[in-house]
Amino acid sequence: MKQVVSFDRLARYEGNLPRYTSYPTAVQFTDDVGFSLYKEWLQALPEGEPVSLYLHVPFCDELCKFCACNTQVVNQEAIRTAYGDLLCDELMRLAGFLKTRRSVSFIHFGGGTPTTLPMIAMKKVMQTIYSLFDIQKDADISIELDPRHVSVEYFSNLHPLGFTRVSFGVQDLDPKVQKACGRIQSKELTAHCIDVVRQNHIHSVNIDLIYGLPNQTTESLRETIRSVVELKPDRLAVFGYAHVPWKFKRQTLLEGDVLPDSVERFQQRQVIDEILQEAGYQVIGLDHYALPHDTMSKAAQQGTLHRNFQGYTVDDAPALLGVGASSVSIVPQGIVQNHPSVAAYQKAMAGGGELPIVRGVERNEEDLLRWTVIERLMCDLHIDLKQVTSQYNKPDNFFDDALAKLKSFEDDGLVQITDYKITVTEEGRCFLRNIVVVFDTYYRVAPQRHAQAI
């Protein structure tokens, strides 16, 4: 359904906000939370509960100028292989700190470009995981790929290793946009890679797209989306470009015209939403889409969708355990992050038998309550506050201040509030981050901290 939003209303909700892939957000991480506390949290995880694993590979064959990921170009195969050995070492240490052998329901390799790991190293990492954990039969095992730099031989090894889903970076198919961003990737190449993946028995395919890039227009993006729909991916993640050059200097190298303004960005988002829904994709939360048969669509319908640093996910394990440089781990008691740089990560791994944690944040009961509200609104677009506050033994009026802040959103038709029940309207979907920020007691307006909200 096309969303009609006046320009003055759009201006009222401009600004930079957290993406809310966790709570508290990464801004609250400090070096006061480190390995010792994380070790206690790991050992306190209830026995019998599954865990999920995230493995970060911070290497690429070439850098995209728009990228805001922790990655670098490393061409030496020996360095890539050595990094695979570090992942295996960290996995063994991690398993040693868990009280019992754990079952795993979800594994994701992200980056960077995980397929920069030589296949011999990838096999070793996967064999290490299988030796340390019990992988559930229906486990979701996924990996991110760069179609420009992966061989047919690599594709053929993924399914035998247990992979069930792949994610392709595409971003945009218009040559002018690709040139400005330093990522040249034809539709034909992307289509070929998807065909090869499916021929090799991996039937779940995700495509990443970005709007708000230099030289993008609503019309050029319309052509990109139509072309992508022809490839029939099972899922799409459609992100607004996060321009944070103070954090990632490579973004200063972007070429072409100035970035689209907020009105143009919103119109681009409308075009994407319109075409994908017409093509039969279900809109998922803020910025994901999936075909009706996909597990993400089913989770959204059943109210079991979740959100973490990977975005929207069907992963419902109580603990997400990160491995590799900059990876993030989330357990009920708190959130921790490994050393971001490969050099610091390698040094920390060489220092003994500890895990390479550099910072984190401890979560209290109120943090968990607020995350429940934020996550459910981000995933379901509705919540019964009385039900949640009762679950956490809080009074019914606990969120009166937040509801007062939402009054202007209600006046603008972005939410409906009745008897402590909040429903985000379809018009309000693209303002989800603006809506949930009222429940964030840590948030402070600050320049050069978060990405653009719309």
What are the binding residues for S-adenosyl-L-methionine? 54, 66-68, 111-113, 144, 171, 183, 208, 242
Binding residues for [4Fe-4S] cluster: 60, 64, 67
Separation between Cα atoms, residue 304 and residue 423, nearest integer Å: 17
Measured from the Cβ of residue 225, the count of other Cβ atoms closer than 10 Å reads 22
Query: Strands across the sheet with 204-211, in order?
Result: 282-284, 288-290, 235-240, 204-211, 165-171, 134-145, 103-111, 51-57, 319-323, 328-331, 334-338, 357-362
Binding residues: 54, 60, 64, 66-68, 111-113, 144, 171, 183, 208, 242
Six-digit token pair at 73?
Answer: 């170009």
